[in-house]
């Protein structure tokens, strides 16, 4: 039986991670998020190559992806993200967010369905819907400038904005909207809601 990507699950998984995010907005600090997760680490290809006594180019010859990949142990529920530090910042941010999506979503296979769900996770994680709406972003350039993402990612995010708005739960929307507002305005939730 063929299964379809579960975009609702992937979308809301991104916001569940962002619920406890205390870093800067609008550009989500993916490495702060990973540092705050107890069972996930991220390492550069250069660091791993050095550990194995290889050059980066030797390491690149043996890995399955020029961008990044994940080791995930289901028994211990620990994930290790490896990424190519020679890529640009926007590519690295997307790659690490995509790989984090695989871990959070518990993917055990790297098939088309898993990749689509991980892309959906990364898109919502790096370009949260409440900020897209709140800032009235309308162009690829708006998305690139606001979220520090590549033009291809910005285009896909812009194209799928209606879908992402559909799948996000009200609770997740409100939570991220409040967190972003508090960060950007400098107020606390208590000040925002008067309690």
pLDDT at 77: 79
pTM for this structure? 0.93
Is a pLDDT exceeding 80 seen at residue 192?
Answer: no
| Terminal Cα-to-Cα distance of the chain (whole angstroms) | 51
CA angle 14, 15, 19 (to 5 degrees): 125
User: pLDDT tens across 89-130, in order?
Assistant: 999 999 999 999 999 999 988 899 999 999 999 999 999 999
Strand partners, 83: 44, 68
Q: Classify strands 78-83 and 68-73 as parallel, antiparallel or unpaired.
A: antiparallel
* All residues at 6 or more sequence positions from 3 whose CB lies less than 8 Å from its CB, including other chains: 113
User: pLDDT tens across 28-66, in order?
Assistant: 999 999 999 999 999 999 999 999 999 999 999 999 899
Is a pLDDT exceeding 90 seen at residue 159?
Answer: yes
């Amino acid at each position: 039986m063929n299964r379809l990507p579960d975009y609702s699950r992937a979308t809301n998984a991104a916001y569940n991670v962002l619920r406890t995010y205390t870093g800067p907005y609008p550009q989500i600090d993916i490495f702060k998020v990973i540092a705050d997760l107890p069972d996930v680490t991220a390492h550069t290809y250069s660091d791993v190559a050095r550990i194995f006594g290889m050059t980066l180019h030797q390491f690149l010859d043996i890995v399955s992806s020029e961008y990044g990949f994940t080791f995930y142990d289901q028994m211990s529920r620990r994930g290790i993200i490896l990424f190519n530090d020679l890529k640009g910042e926007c590519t690295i941010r997307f790659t690490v967010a995509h790989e984090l999506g695989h871990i959070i979503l518990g993917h055990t296979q790297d098939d088309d369905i898993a990749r689509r769900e991980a892309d959906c996770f990364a898109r919502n994680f790096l370009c949260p819907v409440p900020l897209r709406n709140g800032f009235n972003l309308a162009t690829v350039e708006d998305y690139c400038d606001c979220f520090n993402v590549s033009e291809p990612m910005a285009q896909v995010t812009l194209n799928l904005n209606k879908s992402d708005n559909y799948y996000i739960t009200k609770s997740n929307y409100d939570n991220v909207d409040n967190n972003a507002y508090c960060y950007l305005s400098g107020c606390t939730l208590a000040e925002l809601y008067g309690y």
